[in-house]
Structure 1
Amino acid sequence: MRATVLRRSLLALFATAVAFGAMTQAQADTLRIGYQKYGTLVLLKARGTLEKRLAAQGVDVKWTEFPGGPQLLEGLNVGSIDFGVTGETPPVFAQAAGADLLYVASEPPAPTSEAILVPKDSPIKSVQDLKGKKVALNKGSNVHYLLVRALAEAGLKYTDIQTVYLAPADARAAFERGSLDAWVIWDPYQAAAEKQLQARTLRDGTGIVDNNQFYLATRPYAEAHPQVISALVDEVRSVGEWSRAHPDEVTAQVAPLLGLPADITEVSVKRQGYGAQLISPATVAAQQKIADTFYDLKLIPKPLDIASVVWKAPASVAKAP
């Protein structure tokens, strides 16, 4: 009797182990990518070249859309995705919150692709005029740093304004209602507000922020699958270089995905940076400055070391085609 019970227990344990192994294998064979409605990853998804390339490695690709960088990084943090793209600030907040992430690559700067907007008939003429005013932004997004730098340039403190944290769709609605004095936002929402609402640009990122786009991965995935990450970066770079040379074709492809007219989409497309590269020392230094700034403002709870969370491509895959 005892032998029978023991045998059944062992069989059950073996079955559980097999099931767990199968689940782990399934996860390992699926690359889960988080993307936003706009950017190079949208084009890569539409082209389908990544799926074809990774199929040779036995890897499937699953895509999940997020409304903004902070939400995408939360997905990365909780393990619902393995890879994604955001602006400069979200990974700083995510790292400060303990996310086990790695910077993998970045796009060239695109400082005009984010801005502080005011209503067309607003009496506000300069960033200095924002003192005491309601300014909306998506907390922890790339425009968070733009706002900080623009205020400092104008001689204002971050506490001199009334920050209102809203996701893009909610901020757009409040901006249209006249409930806000200013809105800090990125493309394509920025271009849409400029065209459809005749919103005025109070200050874009020129001269004060780079507005890099970063590709990030969870540390466990990047370290376990360097060949996949290398292939992914190469595909992102390829579609980016093609996009830079074919803005009209990109506009025609992206406009229906965004649900925006071609003229608005074209503005966004031409303001974007293209041509992803692995993280350079200069990029690390720029990102470290952002992290230090947010720590000094007590917007994150601890100092960060950006260099410690940069992916180092193994020599065997660093120059993979």
Structure 2
Amino acid sequence: MKTPFHLAAVVIVIAALLTGCAGGANGGADGNGSKAAGASGSKEQAAAAKANDAPDLSKVTLRIGQTGWPNWELGFKEAKLDDTPYKIEFSVFQGGNNQLLAIAANQLDLAATSEIPPLFAALAANQGNFKVIAVQRGNTLNQELVIPAGSEVKSVSDLKGKKVAYVANTTAHYFLIKMLEENGLTWQDIEPVQLPTSEGLSALLSGSVAALASYGNSIISARQKGATELASAKDILSGNFLIEASNDALADEAKKAAIADFLQRLSSFHNWTRKNQERWAEIVSEQTHQPYEEALGTLKEGEKQRSVELVPISQEAIASLKDVADVLRKVGVLTEDVDVPSIWSEVFAEQLKNLKSP
């Protein structure tokens, strides 16, 4: 398979520039301005440019983080997109906040998070050492506030004075605030318990908390163990999931080229899942222990709500993030204002514009 984004465009531009320079140089050197000599020289210099300027991706290891499901490593293998000219180290984190902590520590090159973690990371030392480079539009299913089997809680308003587990600095944090507001409660009206996804699920099932605000596999597992939805965030969240790259990776030409290639493959993977829903549902079922029909139904429902696709940075996406920041700032969860536009980078804008839409 041909490797996308092999910097061909860059090489062509450099070659064209060198062609002009070569003609002038030869004209001065031999006194006759020979077009043949200029053409020969331009070809040689173009070849040299290609050999010398194209990064050697074989020496690159791209460290990529992700949260829960879908598992890109399995997906790339199934879709036959794993023949990368560079190495990939995939790591799964319990939240996007932890991915950005890893980027800040230069332990990760690429992250995939919701809109919430970058806001907190931007207030850390060195502004978190990252830039948002792309938006992954997707569905907002499996983002829920759930209660355990047999709970006496019937509505969000019933949570007043009760313990509610949530994953800090994530979509769960944000949509729990919004759900409380929509039901006449504030953050101060509940006893919030900050827990990672797995511990939050354990707390819910043991009865240590009255409800759990979470996402992904923990919500799937909670349902399998009898938990039920108290409220859904599918109409609260924007569906914008952000791709962040470390400043260190963006400053490295070879890693930047590898990231460009990876974005193309990620887009191709999304297209593959749309065309192979039954096969992907089988894999999801195997990995999450969901019944196959339920996994397939979730895929189809998610596609109906919003197709997953990579899109370029837009003013609408930046405005959406600003709205989230304003909400979190208003309730005191964000302690400082965030310069939202400053954390975005359009370094891959042209590549993203050329990706195929679903």
TM-score, normalisation: structure 1:
0.81
Residue 332 of structure 2 is aligned to residue 304 of structure 1: no
Q: Aligned match of 2:64 in 4, 12, 33?
A: 33
TM-aligned CA deviation for residue 152 of structure 1: 1.2
Query: Please, which moves more after superposition, 163-172 or 243-252?
Result: 243-252
Residue matched to 1:165: 194
CA drift of 1:28 comes to: 7.3
Structure 1 pair 316–134 and aligned structure 2 pair: CA distance change class (3 A): closer
Q: Percent identity among equivalent residues?
A: 24
- Tell me which of 229, 234, 246 is aligned to 1:206: 234
In 2, the alpha carbon distance for the partners of 1:315 and 1:133 equals: 46
Q: Alpha carbons of 1:234 and 1:102: their partners in 2 closer, same or farther (altered >3 Å)?
A: same
Letter of the aligned partner of 2:329 in structure 1? Answer: Y
Which stretch of structure 1 is more off in the superposition, 310-319 or 246-255?
A: 310-319
User: 1-side partners of 2:251 and 2:330: how far apart?
Assistant: 32
In structure 2, C-alpha distance between the alignment counterparts of 1:100 and 1:125, rounded to whole Å: 43
Structure-1 residue corresponding to 2:274: 244
1:8 corresponding residue in structure 2: none
Query: In the alignment, which residue of structure 1 is the partner of 2:44?
Result: none
Contact 2:311/2:352 (CA < 8 Å) preserved in 1?
A: no
Please, which moves more after superposition, 236-245 or 73-82?
236-245
Q: After TM superposition, list the pairs within 5 Å mapping 1:79-158 onto structure 2.
A: 79-97=106-124, 98-158=127-187
Return the alpha-carbon distance in structure 1 between the equivalents of residues 341 and 59 of structure 2: 27
Residue 9 of structure 2: aligned partner? none
SS in 1 for 2:202: helix
Give the Cα–Cα distance (whole angstroms) in 2 for the partners of residues 258 and 247 of structure 1: 16
Cα distance 1:212–1:43, how it changes in 2: closer, same or farther (>3 A)? farther
Residue by residue, what CA displacement relative to the aligned partner does 1:106-138 show, whole Å, maximum 9, x if unpaired? 222423320100123222121111111111011
| One-letter code aligned to 1:41 | W
Query: How many angstroms apart in 1 are the aligned matches of 2:104 and 2:237?
Result: 26
Residue aligned with 1:213, SS? strand
Aligned-residue CA RMSD in angstroms? 2.6
2:244 & 2:75 partners in 1: Cα distance? Answer: 16
Gaps of 5+ in 2: 1-55
CA distance change for structure 1 residues 313 and 271 in 2, over 3 Å: closer, same or farther? Answer: farther
Match of 1:18?
A: none
How far apart, CA to CA, are the structure 1 residues paired with 2:339 and 2:102?
22
Letter in 2 for 1:168: T
The letter of the residue matching 1:234 is Q
Aligned pair partner of 2:258 in 206, 228, 235: 228
Query: Size of the alignment, in residue pairs?
Result: 292
Secondary structure in structure 2 of the residue aligned to 1:210:
coil
Greater Cα radius of gyration, structure 1 or 2? 2
What is the rounded CA distance, in whole Å, between the counterparts of 1:28 and 1:102 in structure 2?
23
Alpha-carbon distance, 1:167 to partner: 1.0
Are the structure 2 counterparts of residues 51 and 207 from structure 1 closer, same or farther at C-alpha, using a change threshold of 3 Å? closer
SS in 2 for 1:301: coil
The alpha-carbon distance between structure 1 residues 175 and 314, as it changes in their structure 2 partners (threshold 3 A), is closer
